[in-house]
């Protein structure tokens, strides 16, 4: 997750359209992936979403009970740490600006210490694109809460973005994954490669999709995310001047039992309860997950 300062000059690089996500065409010539894009900002239309219970995009399936574990390293200010990330799709939904989203539960560890807990919100439109509608991340230092840079689509000028296209193809325009000026968050992505082969501790995969992610204020700094069909994200790597140099590999992928999923649900609701107390100007303005 990247948080950077967003200036008007950077915003001007994008063409904002008012058409729905299912019918838009590229509005400008895209530059190479190593440069800031000149693409379009997706526009979310609640009428494009009709089945919130199904996120079955083959590159990013998000069905309740799915659980991924990643392990690797992250570099911060020249020091490298062991990094572990756990991602679970809960059975909770949350309404955001007229769209029922699926709630994900994410826990980040650095050297076996929890540094972030997060609930995040996804939805798939009728065309098969998976959207990202916001997040409530709690950051910790030495076990103590330090910050919660929250953004939710429709509040404080934040806008949803596309996390995964329905039919990603090389050479297509880059796209925003979200836009949240209040917390300096403006990630964009572009298809970097397809048909790759890679092995991670869990398994070896063919026909792998690679997405290059960056942000408007970063130049020649990319996080590379590798996706396998019907599994989702299997590897995270980096290229260029990425300061964090995050490298993660999938070590576990399973469907949780009803009992384990109930435990995750309780943890997500507990974090949401704190969100209503902490984020008075953003999260407190949203209806509860259920």
The per-residue pLDDT for 51 is: 84
Task: Please report, for the chain, how many H helices and E strands are present, in that order.
Answer: 2, 17
pLDDT in tens, 89-143: 999 999 999 999 999 999 999 999 999 999 999 999 999 999 999 999 999 999 9
Taking a C-beta distance cutoff of 8 angstroms, is the pair 209, 225 a contact? no
| Structure tokens belonging to residue 101 | 């989203």
Distance CA 215, CA 26 (A): 20
The per-residue pLDDT for 40 is: 65
Distance CA 81, CA 287 (A): 37
Q: What's the rounded mean pLDDT across residues 243-257? A: 94
Taking a C-beta distance cutoff of 8 angstroms, is the pair 283, 136 a contact? yes
| Structure tokens belonging to residue 161 | 């973005």
Tell me the pLDDT of the chain averaged across its residues.
87
The per-residue pLDDT for 114 is: 98
Residue 48's SS3 state is helix
Q: Which run of H or E residues covers position 81?
A: strand 79-96
Contact residues for 43 (Cβ-Cβ < 8 A; gap 6+): 16, 17, 18, 19, 20, 21, 24
Distance CA 28, CA 30 (A): 6
Q: Residue 24: pLDDT band by 50, 70, 90 thresholds?
A: very low
pLDDT over 60 at 6, yes or no: no
Q: What's the rounded mean pLDDT across residues 34-46? A: 68
The per-residue pLDDT for 241 is: 84
Give me the helices (H) in the chain, please: 8-11, 258-278
The per-residue pLDDT for 168 is: 97
Instruction: Outline where DSSP puts E strands in 125-203.
Output: 130-141, 144-147, 151-152, 159-164, 175-176, 178-179, 187-199
Q: What's the rounded mean pLDDT across residues 230-247? A: 92
pLDDT in tens, 188-219: 999 999 999 999 999 999 999 999 999 887 88
Domain boundaries, given as residue ranges, for the chain: 8-285
The per-residue pLDDT for 93 is: 97
Q: Taking Cα atoms as reference points, which of 244, 131, 127, 126 lies closest to residue 189?
A: 131
Distance CA 44, CA 143 (A): 37
pLDDT over 70 at 55, yes or no: yes
The per-residue pLDDT for 39 is: 55
pLDDT over 80 at 33, yes or no: no
| C-alpha radius of gyration, the chain, whole number | 18
Question: Whole-angstrom distance between the N-terminal and C-terminal Cα of the chain?
Answer: 26
| Structure tokens belonging to residue 14 | 């994008």
Q: pLDDT over 90 for what percent of the chain? A: 78
Distance CA 104, CA 118 (A): 8
């Amino acid at each position: 997750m990247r948080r950077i300062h967003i200036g008007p000059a950077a915003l001007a690089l994008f063409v904002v359209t008012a058409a729905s996500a299912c019918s838009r065409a590229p509005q400008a010539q895209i530059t190479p992936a190593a440069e800031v894009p000149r693409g379009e900002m997706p526009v979310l239309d609640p009428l494009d979403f009709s089945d919130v219970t199904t996120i079955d995009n083959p590159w990013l399936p998000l069905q309740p009970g799915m659980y991924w574990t990643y392990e690797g390293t992250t570099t911060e200010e020249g020091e490298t740490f062991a990094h572990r990330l756990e991602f679970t799709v809960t059975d909770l939904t949350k309404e955001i600006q007229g769209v029922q989203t699926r709630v994900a539960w994410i826990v980040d560890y650095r050297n076996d210490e929890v540094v972030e807990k997060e609930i995040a919100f996804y939805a798939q439109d009728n065309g098969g694109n998976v959207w990202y509608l916001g997040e409530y991340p709690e950051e910790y230092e030495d076990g103590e809460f330090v910050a919660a840079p929250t953004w939710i689509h429709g509040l404080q000028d934040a806008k949803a973005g596309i996390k995964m296209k329905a039919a990603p193809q090389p050479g297509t325009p880059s796209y925003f994954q979200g836009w949240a000026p209040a917390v300096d968050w403006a990630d964009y992505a572009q298809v970097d490669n397809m048909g790759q082969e890679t092995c991670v501790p869990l398994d070896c995969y063919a026909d792998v999709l690679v997405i290059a992610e960056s942000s408007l204020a970063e130049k020649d700094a990319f996080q590379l995310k590798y996706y396998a069909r019907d599994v989702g994200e299997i590897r995270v790597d980096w290229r260029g001047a990425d300061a964090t140099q995050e490298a993660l590999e999938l070590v576990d992928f399973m469907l949780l039992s009803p009992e384990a999923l109930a435990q995750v649900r309780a943890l997500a609701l507990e974090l949401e309860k704190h969100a209503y107390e902490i984020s008075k100007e953003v999260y407190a303005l949203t209806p509860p997950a259920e």
